[in-house]
Structure 1
Amino acid sequence: MAYLYGSVPFALVIGKVFYNTDVRTKGSGNLGGTNAGRVLGKKAGAAVILLDGTKCIVAILITRLLAAHFNLSDDLFYFSALACIIGHCYPIFAGFKGGKGVSSAIAYTLMTNIYAFIFAVCVFMFTLKTTKYVSLSSIIGSVSVAIIAPFIGLIPPHWHYSTVGIITNFVISALIVYKHHANISRIKNGTESKVQWL
């Protein structure tokens, strides 16, 4: 269920329903908030980012409720979150060609550890302010969470990731880096687009 909800291509739905535009044919062709903002405008981009963020929020909340009801491990929500992000990146409803998982990953971090969320947002915004590359900001932000995850429980009140959570963070980070491989090449070549609408 988490994978299926993650597979809902909100950028495609908003583009076709409200703008009569298939965002896959314009800009980077990516089904994410950044390309939706570039192609459809700031409001559409923000809407896609928010809707993509709800994917992990809903998946985690439902999984935690079910786990509590059936007396199962609370760590199950990590698997739902990962399935949701995989669905966003490889959606069954859009030919397995989706977004890059950033908005959903940010929501995942918000739902799992507020310290990690604040840290990731600060890293993302600082990188974006200095480089204007959303792709690079996303990569560095996600990697930063994976790096600090094993140590974040040392901060009072000791909200820490479990071992499963730490592993999940590394997998999500690796997936986001992989999904940005074309962006990394363009950054190296100096051809990556700098975003002005954010």
Structure 2
Amino acid sequence: MKVYEILLILLGYFYGSIPFALVIGKVFYNTDVRESGSGNLGGTNAGRVLGKKAGMSVIILDALKAVLVYYISYFLAGKLNLNPDIKYIAGLACIFGHCYPIFAGFRGGKAVSTCLGYFLCIEPLYAIVAIIVFLSVLKISKYVSLSSISTSLIVLAITPFLDLPLTAKICMTFAVILLVYRHKENIKRIKNHTESKIQWM
């Protein structure tokens, strides 16, 4: 692996580590979202604690993390004659950074928005189908966690059949597994009927 490829992976991780929910909460609301709601640094908890406007802002910024990393890697791979698959790996590093951010004590979000941005870059139509499934389950259940997990499992089932490089399929699979793993506590609460339903969307 070339030095520039390693640097792009590190760029992905460090940019993914920027905790936008924490930044927006502290800068605009003088609130640490980790101390309220679920304590999660994601758009859902930001919306629950700070309101709809803040929640949507965090969702968009978190999704754009993967988009920017993916296209910067894509552009530089062409300019520097790097492995074209580096965009998939750097994007996955971005998702990992969001979940385990070095700038927030390795306590991050659950990567739903960041994964969505990542999937949109790799296979837009596929991602749109995932959005439709997510919103449909959310409308019925009002559980963001259940919607995220259900969508992720469908993504996981479809991925092997996509016309994509093997690296892309492997990275997407790891992204889905990480997302589901990050929801392990939510799964327990859903089983116990103690999971919170969303109110602000």
Tell me, yes or no, whether TM beats 0.5: yes
The residue identity in structure 1 corresponding to 2:95 is: I
Q: 2:127 aligns with which of 80, 97, 117?
A: 117
Please give the alpha-carbon distance, in whole angstroms, between the structure 2 residues aligned to 1:136 and 1:81. Answer: 24
| 1:29 equivalent in alignment to 2:39 | yes
Unaligned runs of 5+ in 1: 153-159
| 1:103 equivalent in alignment to 2:106 | no
Per the TM alignment, residue 174 of structure 1 is displaced from its structure 2 partner at its CA by 0.6
Per the TM alignment, residue 120 of structure 1 is displaced from its structure 2 partner at its CA by 0.6
Please give the alpha-carbon distance, in whole angstroms, between the structure 1 residues aligned to 2:69 and 2:47. Answer: 25
Q: After TM superposition, where is structure 1 displaced by more than 2 Å over at least 4 residues in a row?
A: none
Please give the alpha-carbon distance, in whole angstroms, between the structure 1 residues aligned to 2:17 and 2:109. Answer: 10
| 1:172 equivalent in alignment to 2:175 | yes
The residue identity in structure 2 corresponding to 1:90 is: Y
Structure 2 match to 1:189: 192
Query: SS of the residue aligned with 2:160?
Result: coil
1:129-150 Cα offsets, whole Å, 9 max, x none, are 1111001111111221121122
Q: Is the 8 A contact 1:119 1:145 kept in 2?
A: no
What is the TM-score with the length of structure 2 in the denominator?
Answer: 0.93
Unaligned runs of 5+ in 2: 1-10
The residue identity in structure 2 corresponding to 1:28 is: S
Say what the alpha-carbon RMSD is for the aligned residues. 0.9
Please give the alpha-carbon distance, in whole angstroms, between the structure 1 residues aligned to 2:143 and 2:164. Answer: 29
Query: SS of the residue aligned with 2:120?
Result: helix
Please give the alpha-carbon distance, in whole angstroms, between the structure 2 residues aligned to 1:178 and 1:197. Answer: 25
Structure 1 match to 2:92: 82
1:149-188 Cα offsets, whole Å, 9 max, x none, are 2223xxxxxxx22111111111011100110000000000
Please give the alpha-carbon distance, in whole angstroms, between the structure 2 residues aligned to 1:150 and 1:180. Answer: 23
What is the TM-score with the length of structure 1 in the denominator?
Answer: 0.94
Structure 1 match to 2:8: none
Percent identity at matched positions? 57
